[in-house]
Amino acid sequence: MSGPVIPISSHRLDAGSIVATLERLQARIGERFPAASLVGVCGELVATGRDTARSVRQLARPVLWLRAVAGIIVALWLGGTGLVLSEINWVEIGRRADATSLAQGLDSTVNLLLLAGAAIWFLLTLEQRWKRSRTLSALYRLRSFAHVIDMHQLTKDPTAILGKGQPTASSPERRMTEFELARYLEYCAEMLALTAKLAALYAAETNDDQVMGAVNDVEDLASNLGRKIWQKIMIISQLDEGRASTQPTGIALPSAPG
């Protein structure tokens, strides 16, 4: 039975589509491995996906109250500075002051202007730094999720299907069939890919270099971990092909269910 058609934009990622894909993936894992802890991990990733969708929408909107506070402070500072400067008798100061005093006064004025400019810049970029902090925190969470997913596939050894080695007392319990192991590994690979897509949602809403770098790190991590999983899946495929080649001619192997 085919699932619902999820519309995907041709030019940008859609958070709702990613969350819907995660929800369907959780259902698939639950139906195939109802007792596996991977179901719970995927459920947490679904919740994180919903949080990510809300967070991306919030970060895309301007923080008006923060801009208003920064604008009021800058306006008050500029107004106060202008009022003080207007009360000074610059003509009298210029007539009485010597060259040394004027140089010292000019140096102090330049330093004050530099400090004031730095303070204004701090206030005007406050919103950007606040959003960056929230985004980096969310990306760190996604990075942690990628490592958790990798831990769940770490002990899934495809060569154990051959059953030629004698397990030790500390060997992990392996009860999966070849088909089940391949499906389990594919679920892990899909979760890693969707984790990278959640990270990419943040990159679509900002031009911040630090955020873009963090997003690239999450995507690279998910890609590298996923590559290891697909290597295991390829080993399973090669084992299957090897057994098929040893079967007598004319005897068809039963196909695995979809």
Distance CA 138, CA 200 (A): 12
Q: Which band of pLDDT confidence, cut at 50, 70 and 90, is reported for residue 5?
A: very low
Segment 190-209 shows an average pLDDT of 91
Segment 52-70 shows an average pLDDT of 81
Q: What is the pLDDT of residue 155?
A: 84
- Helices 178-203 & 15-32, crossing angle to 10 degrees? 160
Q: What is the pLDDT of residue 126?
A: 78
pLDDT for residue 224 is more than 60: yes
Q: What is the pLDDT of residue 13?
A: 82
Tokens 């207007």: give the residue.
Answer: 86
Q: What is the pLDDT of residue 12?
A: 74
pLDDT for residue 258 is more than 50: no
Distance CA 243, CA 102 (A): 93
Pick the CATH number of 15-62+127-160+174-241 from 1.10.10, 1.10.260, 1.20.1050, 3.40.50: 1.20.1050
pLDDT for residue 193 is more than 90: yes
**Lowest-pLDDT range of 4-8, 146-150, 195-199:** 4-8
pLDDT for residue 102 is more than 70: no
Quick one: 33 exposed, middle or buried, by C-beta within 10 A (0-12, 13-18, 19+)? middle
pLDDT for residue 94 is more than 50: yes
Model pLDDT for residues 154-178, shown as the tens digit of each residue? 888 887 766 666 777 777 777 778 8
**Lowest-pLDDT range of 70-84, 101-115, 124-138, 153-167:** 101-115
pLDDT for residue 26 is more than 60: yes
Q: What is the pLDDT of residue 253?
A: 43
Q: What DSSP assignment string belongs to the chain?
A: ---------SSS--HHHHHHHHHHHHHHHHHH-TT-THHHHHHHHHHHHHHHHHHHHHHHS--HHHHHHHHHHHHHHHHHHHHHHHHS-HHHHHHH--HHHHHHHHHHHHHHHHHHHHHHHHHHTHHHHHHHHHHHHHHHHHHHHHHHHHHHHTT--GGGGG--SPP-TTSPP----HHHHHHHHHHHHHHHHHHHHHHHHHHTT---HHHHHHHHHHHHHHHHHHHHHHHHHHHHHHHHHHHHHTSPTTPPPPPPP-
Q: Which band of pLDDT confidence, cut at 50, 70 and 90, is reported for residue 188?
A: very high
In the chain, domain spans? 15-62+127-160+174-241, 64-126
